[in-house]
Structure 1
């Protein structure tokens, strides 16, 4: 391999490693397609969130863990990153912050859908 070919291969490898996977995937549930985290757990939205801000903090965030974004995560497509009140970063889909539900026990569970009429599965 000559130096030019090596440089091109190294650049391609670097670009591939820098590529960020989407923060959520589409999974199947009894309610049809839903957004899931990397482990296949259903993601939810909260009606009390507004303007790209999370209103689920403290005890709420213990029951509804936010889908956290890594430092330096960047918006892509319908996904954006919002700053939480504590300064941490959270993924949002079409402007709505995303959460897990602590009572879901396996991929495909949707036990949080409709909780208190303010929590809903996140649909792709």
Structure 2
């Protein structure tokens, strides 16, 4: 019975540590740019106004440029934008973040420079 209590406590600690780590680092840096946990490149859109709390990329735009969804309360320099549909989108330095449907595998960056308005987010 003691072993079961200790194992339960250890598991609870491991899961809580994993959850905290996930909240503290919503994105990671790979090859000098921000990527999501699947390694997909993250972009900003010039038509988004920094710190406006909303995204200019909706409807068809959002189908091609899926928003990076926010989970919980991210640490600075990240914040959360509420989209028209009520979903929560991750923002970096006040600008909403997106991936690109034409990026097929981790590290692809086909979206960089599209329309002169989409840009890779440099990793720091």
Q: What band does the TM-score fall into relative to the shorter chain?
A: 0.7 to 0.9
Aligned to 1:53: 54
Q: Does 1:103 align with 2:106?
A: no
Q: Which has the higher helix share?
A: 2
Partner Cα separation in structure 2 for residue 10 and residue 41 of structure 1: 30
Q: CA RMSD in A?
A: 2.2
Partner Cα separation in structure 2 for residue 58 and residue 114 of structure 1: 21
Partner Cα separation in structure 2 for residue 79 and residue 26 of structure 1: 14
Partner Cα separation in structure 2 for residue 103 and residue 10 of structure 1: 39
TM-score, normalising length from structure 1?
0.81
Partner Cα separation in structure 2 for residue 15 and residue 110 of structure 1: 34
User: Which runs of no fewer than 5 residues in structure 2 stay unpaired?
Assistant: none
Q: Does 1:27 align with 2:34?
A: no
* Alpha-carbon distance, 1:13 to partner: 4.3
Aligned to 2:42: 43
Q: 1:59 to 1:19 in 2, by over 3 A?
A: same
Aligned to 2:84: 85
SS at match of 2:63: helix
* Alpha-carbon distance, 1:15 to partner: 4.0
SS at match of 2:17: helix
Q: How many residue pairs are counted as aligned between the two chains?
A: 116
Q: 1:111 to 1:85 in 2, by over 3 A?
A: same
Partner Cα separation in structure 1 for residue 46 and residue 78 of structure 2: 18
